Amino acid sequence: MRTWDLIKVANRNLFRNKLRTFLTVMAIFVGSFTLTMTNGLGDGMRDYVESQVKNIEGDRVIMVRKKVERPVGGPRAGTPAEYKGDVGPEGGSDFDPNSILMTLPQMEAAVKEIDGVKSITPRYNIEGEYISIDGGKKYQLELGMLSEGITAKTEAGGPLSGDGQIVIPIGLARAMNSNISELIGKPAAIGYKLADGTMKTISLEIVGVATKGFMTNYSSFVSGGTARQIHEDQRPNGRTDSFIAFTLQLNSNDPAIISNAKSKLSAAGYEGDTIADNDKRTYDAIGIFKTGMNLFAFVALLAASFGIINTLVIAVLERTKEIGLQKALGMGRGKIFAIFSLESVLIGFWGALAGSLGGISAGVIANRVLLSVYASSFEGFNLFAFKPLSIAFVMLLVCGIAFAAGVMPAIRASRLNPIESLRYE
Amino acid sequence: MLEAKNLSKTYSSDGLDYVALKQVDLMVNRGDCIAIVGKSGSGKSTLMHLLACLDTPSSGEVIVEGSDTSKLSERSKNGLRNEKFGFVFQQFFLNGRDTVFENVVLPMRIRGVSGPQLAAEAGEAIAAVGLTDKAMKKAKDLSGGEKQRVCIARALVGKPQVIFADEPTGNLDSATGASVEDMLFKLNRENGITLVIVTHDEDLAGKCGRVVEMKDGYIVSEKVKEAAAV
């Protein structure tokens, strides 16, 4: 028998008992629908997070922290860190095992064995008070720093290119001027408090308006050099400069150089992550969440696959004589197996098709409803995202499960003895 | 054409052996019209199943056109049944929801024939049993005699050399049974198709050229009618 004939026969057999086929397909539909939705949910979250984190870029920087035993009360509560003994005056040593903070000389010691270091920038903690332009309205200022090598995507203007500049968030920019590109190149008055509480005002040039994202929705950013100046103004006199993290910029984004730098940092008692590492961690978390959700859909599909087995076992009994005749007339075992397997796969296919279409429709409707409710807080967020590859994966998976469910009945059918089958009452 | 050599068949169930066929020898020549008669349990159906390669003997040989079928693979035996044999059964085994045409073409579809050749051969076979005007009717809407004619067309469609008929008139009244018989004998006479008919209908057996009588798994007698083929 030709393959196309086999498919036609299988499909016709399914339509012989419409109600039974429909009910079995419905069970598969429920499973496929759930799987489409859970997959869509995971993809939707990933898309949203991706659109948010992608606004901060930097392919040759490593954010470095000190590896420390977690403090009491942390994730490893109950194992307090032992005091390592006094290692000299604070900041005097290349590595202080008793603190997670680092001084600038300690940072330099940490990277001195690493090849291709371009710069290091400590994470300066700075606090702004207000921003205004042309002597106009003062707005509250959330101030942050972009280390050398890290840039924020901009809607207007461009990234920071040196000290004395500032990139502002789009919300703030629109408040100051509805035509945000007119702000580019303008001096902004920035107010911040000194260590003694008095206000200091400096002028920074607005070079860019940042694209929306997790980190860029509210914060304005200045360069490392500008941040250091503000930090020093805000630091109480007499206190040693020490920082919780620093950014290491390398000369190249060559993966070998990056991984070499990371392993040297690790050997020196530090841990370093690139922006890609951080993003990957987030994506992995979403991936785990998605897999967990998909497991529920698998359970539904598993239940449905027993429906397929049941349907086919009954079909084999009903069609025993027919199978006997086909075998007597020379149809081989393989073809009998193929017909029943195809019936099974077709049940899966129709169920998966209906489930995918149903899932997509439900997701699109859900997105619309949620958009109208949460639009203000999650701009650009679609709870469900449907990707052709994911849908194709669901379809293939369901057909695969259906095929597996059909194997046992199909083997039974293929092994029937023609004489006994023709005698079967 | 077909030859049984020292053929035995033993069925086993629950540890008990039942010998259905005991050392049977039979020669079926090309163009023969042979009836295998006997009471139920005499082994006549078993003999037919073995000759038709539907079953495998416990011992002995079935030789089809000079070759020992025990040496053939499952696939070759399937091909043999499909291409050289046709089958007519007492219970018809038609698919009632399908058309006459679809029922008739089943062996051709199994063989992998399609398109114009399929339509042509099916048309010929359906015409041979006089059902051309009912070719597109559902098989379930036919009378018993018509159904058996569909079965004959199905047996005929692949241009077989042998037609095995197991109680072909068993489910029919005598008038329709007679017309089905005539049709089979005509195929034997005019197309030279070898007929192997299993029956306990003595009238039907009497119209065959050779009558092999079976009892308790043995062939007990064989009668040859002189002018059968005329």
C-beta separation of B196 from B162 below 8 A: yes
With a cut of 70, say whether residue A112 has pLDDT above it.
yes
The pLDDT-based confidence of B217 (bands split at 50, 70, 90) is: very high
CB contact under 8 A, A330 and B82: yes
The dihedral of CA A403, A404, A407, A409: what is its sign? negative
Of A16, A329, A333, the CB nearest to B87: A329
C-beta separation of A230 from A124 below 8 A: yes
d(CA A313, CA A332): 20
Residue to mutate among A3, A15, A329, A423, with most B CBs inside 10 A, is A329
Please indicate whether residue A93 or residue A365 has the higher confidence score (pLDDT): A365
Residue ranges per structural domain of chain B: 2-224
pLDDT digits (tens, 9 = 90+) for B52-102: 999 999 999 999 988 899 889 999 999 999 999 999 998 899 999 899 999
**Over residues A59-88, mean pLDDT:** 70
Q: From residue B130, how far is each of A360, B91, B103 by CA, in Å?
A: 55, 20, 15
CB contact under 8 A, A332 and B106: no
CB contact under 8 A, B75 and A332: yes
The pLDDT-based confidence of A262 (bands split at 50, 70, 90) is: very high
Give the list of residues 6+ apart from residue A314 with CB closer than 8 angstroms, or none.
A20
Helix (H, G, I), strand (E, B) or coil at A375: coil
A20, amino acid identity: R
Q: What is the pLDDT of residue A79?
A: 65
Q: What is the pLDDT of residue A146?
A: 92
d(CA A325, CA A416): 11
According to DSSP, residue A331 is labeled -
Give the list of residues 6+ apart from residue A35 with CB closer than 8 angstroms, or none.
A294, A297, A298, A300, A301, A355, A359, A394, A397, A398
d(CA A320, CA A324): 6
Q: Which residue of A lies nearest to B112 if distances are taken between CA atoms?
A: A1
C-beta separation of A145 from A224 below 8 A: yes
The strand pair at B59-64 and B2-13 is best described as: antiparallel
Helix (H, G, I), strand (E, B) or coil at A173: helix
Q: Does A2 touch chain B (CB under 8 A)?
A: yes
Q: Does A313 touch chain B (CB under 8 A)?
A: no
Q: Does A1 touch chain B (CB under 8 A)?
A: yes
Q: From residue A366, how far is each of A36, A171, A294, A372, A373 by CA, in Å?
A: 13, 28, 19, 10, 11
> Which tokens belong to A246?
């620093």
Question: What value does the mean pLDDT of chain B take?
Answer: 91
Within A89-214, residue ranges assigned H as helices are: 104-111, 170-176
For A207, half-sphere exposure in the C-beta direction (CA atoms, 13 angstrom radius) is 16
> Which tokens belong to B142?
């036919």
C-beta separation of A270 from A65 below 8 A: yes
Backbone angles phi, psi at B198, to 5 degrees: -100, 125
Give the list of residues 6+ apart from residue A390 with CB closer than 8 angstroms, or none.
A39, A40, A43
Q: Does B99 touch chain A (CB under 8 A)?
A: no
With a cut of 70, say whether residue A417 has pLDDT above it.
yes
Q: Which residue of A lies nearest to B95 if distances are taken between CA atoms?
A: A322
Please indicate whether residue B15 or residue B134 has the higher confidence score (pLDDT): B134
Q: Could you tell me the CATH superfamily of domain B2-224? A: P-loop containing nucleotide triphosphate hydrolases (3.40.50.300)
User: Of the ranges A222-231, A376-385, B145-154, B162-171, which one carries the lowest mean pLDDT score?
Assistant: A376-385
User: Of the ranges A46-50, A85-89, A217-221, A402-406, which one carries the lowest mean pLDDT score?
Assistant: A85-89
ipTM associated with this complex: 0.92
C-beta separation of B26 from B217 below 8 A: no
Of A9, A16, A332, the CB nearest to B78: A332
**Over residues A10-15, mean pLDDT:** 90
DSSP, residue by residue, B92-110: ----TTSBHHHHHHHHHHH
Q: What is the pLDDT of residue A379?
A: 63
Q: Which residue of A lies nearest to B76 if distances are taken between CA atoms?
A: A330
C-beta separation of B105 from B126 below 8 A: no
With a cut of 60, say whether residue A254 has pLDDT above it.
yes
**Over residues A185-212, mean pLDDT:** 92
Question: What value does the mean pLDDT of chain A take?
Answer: 88
Q: Does B54 touch chain A (CB under 8 A)?
A: yes
> 């049940």: which residue's tokens?
A347
Centroid of chain to Cα B119: 23
d(CA A141, CA A206): 14
d(CA A220, CA A164): 13
Q: What is the pLDDT of residue A76?
A: 54
Q: What is the pLDDT of residue A91?
A: 45
Q: Tell me the chain B residues in contact with residue A332 when contact means C-beta distances shorter than 8 Å.
A: 74-75, 78
Q: Which residue of A lies nearest to B50 if distances are taken between CA atoms?
A: A419
Query: Whole-model pTM?
Result: 0.79
pLDDT digits (tens, 9 = 90+) for B118-173: 999 999 999 999 999 999 999 999 998 999 999 999 999 989 999 999 999 888 89
d(CA A351, CA A214): 39
Please indicate whether residue B62 or residue B14 has the higher confidence score (pLDDT): B62
User: Of the ranges A147-151, A235-239, A345-349, B105-109, which one carries the lowest mean pLDDT score?
Assistant: A235-239
The pLDDT-based confidence of A321 (bands split at 50, 70, 90) is: very high
C-beta separation of A265 from A62 below 8 A: yes
* Among A400, A318, A345, A327, residue whose Cα is nearest residue A11: A345
C-beta separation of B137 from B100 below 8 A: yes
The pLDDT-based confidence of B13 (bands split at 50, 70, 90) is: confident
Q: Tell me the chain A residues in contact with residue B21 when contact means C-beta distances shorter than 8 Å.
A: none
Q: Tell me the chain B residues in contact with residue A329 when contact means C-beta distances shorter than 8 Å.
A: 81-82, 87, 106-107, 110
**Over residues A234-250, mean pLDDT:** 85
The pLDDT-based confidence of A258 (bands split at 50, 70, 90) is: very high
The pLDDT-based confidence of A72 (bands split at 50, 70, 90) is: very low
The pLDDT-based confidence of B111 (bands split at 50, 70, 90) is: very high
**Over residues B187-200, mean pLDDT:** 93
Residues paired with residue B211 on neighbouring β-strands, in sequence order: B35, B223
Q: Tell me the chain B residues in contact with residue A326 when contact means C-beta distances shorter than 8 Å.
A: 106, 110
A65, amino acid identity: R
Q: What is the pLDDT of residue B230?
A: 41
